[in-house]
Structure 1
Amino acid sequence: MSLGPESKKLKFYAGIEGGGTTWKCVFADQDCEIINSHSIPTDTPEKTLLRVVQFYESCQKEFGEISGIGVGSFGPANIDINSSNYGQITSTPKLGWSYFNVVKSLEKVFAAPVLFDTDVNVAARAEYEFGNASGLNNFAYVTVGTGIGVSVYMNGSVAQGDSHFESGHMLVPKHDADTNFDGVCQFHSGCLEGLASGPSIEKRWNQNPKNLPDDHIAWDIESYYLGILCMNLSLVYRPRRIILGGGVMNRKCLFEKIREQYSLMMASYVGQCGLLQDYITSAGLLEDSGVKGAVLLAQDASLQKS
């Protein structure tokens, strides 16, 4: 692909969604239009980052220099920009990634400034700017994939305490048909991520979830756990909308099942604005929420430098 001589007037940004299974990389312009993209299976930090670097070096040769780099990463992670360990993935069960610093690794190679956040926070921002949270100052965004992450927007910005939320590790009561399954989380027995993430579905049924039909009990169990999450988010944060994204949510039958579980559990205790199908809904940007949010973060990095 060639952009022609007008490309010299453009600014380019690297948006990276670093997931536990795949690192998605996009090369985009100032309008967040994706010019080039590449998906890299998550390997060791060194091998994964090498391929990330190779992709962006080839983009720079073809299109022009990168003005900013934004990374939305799986966690837990250090997102305190004032910390000496900013950009470091912390106590993850992902082999080899604990205490690896993504920001410092990229800064060794690229002159462009780098900003770093969680994958779910950057995805939530993209939904706020361009997707199904547009115009909403208070909402929750959930990603259900290799792990489970939650980002909450309150008054138009991401809410957090000492660091980002880890709502995916809340403890949940077991489904009646799931009492013999301990989950896949290495840290907590019976936490949401251990019972409802993509790897948990695969381990529970000993097959790829994509092969399970819509009428399999797996999706009743999954919707039960995600219904609990939606109820807890509603009670604690009172969001205007709950957006569910991530690979597991590509199973469209889940949305209605989750809404049914939510209604049953909530028992009309509190209501929501509008219809339930609008309150618990899918990501407007589909699978691009994470990379688009990372591009917005890259633009922030460029502005901070200037």
Structure 2
Amino acid sequence: MIAGIELGGTKCICMLATFEGKIAERVRIATTDPDTTLAAIEDTVAGWCGIDAIGIASFGPIAIDRASPDYGWITATPKPGWAGTDVAGRIERRFGVPVGFQTDVVGAALAEGEWGASRQLADHAYVTIGTGVGVGLVASARPVVGLTHQELGHFRPVRREGDDWPGNCPFHGACCEGLASGPAIAARTGRRADALPAEWPAWALVAHPLAQLCHLLVLTGIPRRIVFGGGVALGALALLPLVREMLDASLGDYGDRALLGDLDAFIVPAELGADAGPLGAILLGRQALADG
């Protein structure tokens, strides 16, 4: 049995599942301060017998380099009180089983690859559009890691002609997240994304940076499919068709376009919904168990 913990900015989902992903238990915990939240998670997991490994899919930024002294920590997060919190080490010391630790976006990417929109594909990308814009890259069915995790939501796109809105990212202004996230849409329009009609003409202003993000992902040579999740991406019917159209124009005739195939099958919506994060944590625990 594997315990999965999706540690989110507002809530945590603790899940108990079999190695194959059959869900046995699911518990929701509010994310408050670190000590209260982690203690509640520990109490939940302690009530489950026979756990062989634990996976944690966490909000970030986080330290994922196992050679680093702060591996398993939440690092420079803007969430009050959570910067410098040792998450994975605390859980591992409490339960004494292998613990996998990655971002919540990578967790969702792994789950979509195993049971969702990218199943049977070992190389894929997951893009979440919600409170922020996040990207998880998976190659050979494992997260792509190096110095740290991907932060591609903060790349700076070329602006659409005539659009000089400054964006709302507190760090980079008009980065992809500052132009296309839920808070960015609300700041620009005064309305939540789910309250905007499909025929809203300015969806093109949201799709434009996302298409450039997809262009960038294509040029990495990794994803055989790009899956979009998150409330904005899954709630706006007009968005993905515009992203596909703009990606097609952006790529032009460069490269072997036959590799991408039909863009309707290359850029697709996520299938697992709210289960993607905790199921991804289950997979992180499974990988930690396999790695010993």
Shorter-chain TM-score: which interval? 0.7 to 0.9
Aligned to 1:22: 11
Is 1:193 matched up with 2:182? no
Q: What's the RMSD between the two structures over aligned residues? A: 2.4
Is 1:87 matched up with 2:87? no
CA distance in 2, matches of 1:92, 1:165: 15
TM-score for both structures, normalised by structure 2: 0.88
Match of 1:46 among 25, 29, 35: 35
Q: Which runs of 5+ in 2 are unaligned?
A: none
Q: 3-state SS of the aligned residue for 2:135?
A: strand
The answer to whether the 8 A contact 1:88-1:100 is kept is yes
- 1:15 offset after TM fit, Å? 0.8
CA distance in 1, matches of 2:95, 2:157: 43
Q: 3-state SS of the aligned residue for 1:24?
A: strand
Q: 3-state SS of the aligned residue for 1:117?
A: strand
Aligned to 1:294: 281
TM-score for both structures, normalised by structure 1: 0.84
How many residues get paired? 289
Is 1:258 matched up with 2:243? yes
Give the direction of change, closer, same or farther, for the CA distance of 1:155–1:209 in structure 2 (3 Å limit): same
CA distance in 1, matches of 2:221, 2:145: 12
Q: Which runs of 5+ in 1 are unaligned?
A: 1-11
Q: 3-state SS of the aligned residue for 2:66?
A: coil
> Structure 1 stretches (4+) deviating beyond 4 angstroms?
none
Deviations 1:76-106 (A, max 9, x none): 2111123221111122222222221111332
Give the direction of change, closer, same or farther, for the CA distance of 1:201–1:242 in structure 2 (3 Å limit): same
Is 1:141 matched up with 2:123? no
Most deviating of 45-54 and 237-246: 45-54
- 1:45 offset after TM fit, Å? 2.3
- 1:36 offset after TM fit, Å? 1.8
Amino acid at match of 2:212: I
Q: 3-state SS of the aligned residue for 1:52?
A: helix
CA distance in 2, matches of 1:25, 1:210: 27
Match of 2:260 among 262, 267, 273: 273
Aligned to 1:66: 51
Amino acid at match of 1:191: C
Aligned to 2:2: 13
Describe how 1:212-227 pairs up with structure 2 within 5 A.
212-227=196-211
Amino acid at match of 1:122: G
Match of 2:85 among 80, 87, 100: 100
